[in-house]
Amino acid sequence: MDNWFKSKWFVRAISLFFAVLLFVVVEMEETKFQTDSRVPSGSDKVEVLEGIPVDIQIDSEKFVVSGVPEFVTLSLEGSAGHLTPVIMTRNFEVFVDLREYGEGKHTVDIEYAKIPSELSVYIEPKTVEVEIEERASEEFAVDVDFINIDQLPEGYELGDPEIKPENVRITSSRSVIDQIAIVKVYIDVADLTESINNREVPVNIYDSQGNGLNVRVEPSSVVASVPIDNPSKKVPLEVETKGELPEDYSLVSITSEVEEVEVFAVSAVLDELEVLTTEDIDLSEVSESGEYEAKVDIGEGMSVNEETVKVIIEIEQTKVIEDVAIEVKNADDQEILFIDPDVDTMNVEFVGSDEKVKAISTDDFQLFIDVKGLEKGEHKVPVSIEGPDDVTSSVEFEQITIEIT
């Protein structure tokens, strides 16, 4: 047996046998299928075809027609031999022939052609009422309507749109053309931050009530471009305050490190804007000179390049040291009596930066009068003070009356 399989003629014979066997089996199955699927001769069959388009035969250069359904339902009855080819090829026509009719309303039959006479044909609807009107064509300018403008990012504004072409030609019946009130395209600008360049948008046609009209538009869409801008303007920044400094403190200066801010807003807002301010700084909470942060007071519809700025506040403190002894210089052996006032002390006031004034004590200055060269008797002498140069000092009395004995 092994020797047989080594013979190429034996292998070829076996292959041929199996090929013939396979052919016979396939033929038997196909014959069985054909036998089972045959329709007994003489029996009729009904096929219902829906969505059959209706052709309109008319001089379309002169007239337009309304009332013709776009699709009809077609029922065919007959033998399978005649029915099947028609269903498979659908090489038939369904139409209304309006070539002999003029303007006006007419009741006409929906007809068919290229269906074998052996088949019975039923069309639903069979007749329709149509209206034939003169064809008219006019050009209309295209308007632009922006939608979702309230969703445009804050500070952005739209420029003038550009439409290409600016006009479209609309074709329909004269009565429909006369109803046209609005020809526009819609452009959605929600969340738009960049210009629209050459966006294709469909043209919409409406009557005066806002009802859409079914007309022929050439072109049916236009190309739209819309610039978008985020205008800005630099304006001075002023610092606003409220309240008062604590007792014994006074304001020397208050300035912002940023003298001006860039404001982003629509042009109408920027045109009226001359200055921006900070939110109020409460001086009652300021106890020393230094840097403070303040928010920029931003109006509605605005944004700024800096929302928070540093404000430099310089304050000075007033400090009074009471009952400071008045020293006498160059008295030698003279006896000095204080006449007016009749005490040898007075109050001294210091004004300066809060840091320096706080640190001043009686060890830091000297209060005195100089009697050098004065004779016996009464004299008015100035009261002098020697102390820190970086603070301002003043005495309770600039001069006093003394008596030398």
Name the nearest CA neighbour of 325 among 349, 357, 347: 347
Percent of the chain with pLDDT over 70: 89
The answer to whether residues 389 and 360 belong to one domain is yes
Write the CB contacts of 222 (distance below 8 Å, at least 6 apart in sequence).
Answer: 142, 163, 164, 165, 168, 185, 200, 201, 203
Q: Answer yes or no: is 272 within a domain.
A: yes
CATH code at 190? Answer: 2.170.120.40
More confident residue, 7 or 148: 148
CATH code at 63? Answer: 2.170.120.30
For the chain, what's the residue count?
405
Q: Which of 132, 154, 182 is the last residue of a domain?
A: 132
Question: What distance in Å separates the CA atoms of residue 180 and residue 212, rounded to the nearest whole number?
Answer: 9
Q: Which of 269, 299, 317 is the last residue of a domain?
A: 317
The answer to whether residues 75 and 114 belong to one domain is yes
- Is the bond preceding residue 165 a cis peptide, omega within 30 degrees? yes
Confidence label for 18 from pLDDT (cuts 50, 70 and 90): low
Rg, the chain, Cα only: 53
Q: Extract the tokens encoding 255.
A: 């300035």
Confirm if 183 and 168 have CB atoms less than 8 A apart: yes
Tens digit of pLDDT for each residue in 178-202? 999 999 999 999 988 899 999 999 9
120: containing domain = 44-132
The answer to whether residues 366 and 348 belong to one domain is yes
Surface-to-core class of residue 132, CB atoms within 10 Å of its CB (0-12 exposed, 13-18 middle, 19+ buried): buried
Q: Which of 204, 229, 254 is the last residue of a domain?
A: 229
Region 270-288: mean pLDDT is 89
- Is the bond preceding residue 219 a cis peptide, omega within 30 degrees? yes
Q: Answer yes or no: is 338 within a domain.
A: yes
The answer to whether residues 52 and 11 belong to one domain is no
The answer to whether residues 347 and 391 belong to one domain is yes
| Structure-token match 């007016």, residue found | 340
The answer to whether residues 118 and 176 belong to one domain is no
Confidence label for 207 from pLDDT (cuts 50, 70 and 90): very high
Q: Answer yes or no: is 72 within a domain.
A: yes
Confidence label for 39 from pLDDT (cuts 50, 70 and 90): very low
Region 29-53: mean pLDDT is 61
Which residues does residue 204 pair with via DSSP β-bridges, in sequence order? 184
Query: What's the number of domains the chain is made of?
Result: 5
Confidence label for 373 from pLDDT (cuts 50, 70 and 90): confident
Q: Where are the alpha helices (DSSP H) in 123-241?
A: 174-179
Q: Answer yes or no: is 214 within a domain.
A: yes
Q: Answer yes or no: is 209 within a domain.
A: yes
The answer to whether residues 117 and 156 belong to one domain is no
Q: Answer yes or no: is 137 within a domain.
A: no
What are φ and ψ of residue 117, in 5° steps?
Answer: -70, -15
Q: Answer yes or no: is 159 within a domain.
A: yes
**Mean pLDDT score of the chain:** 85
Cα 98 from chain centre: 54
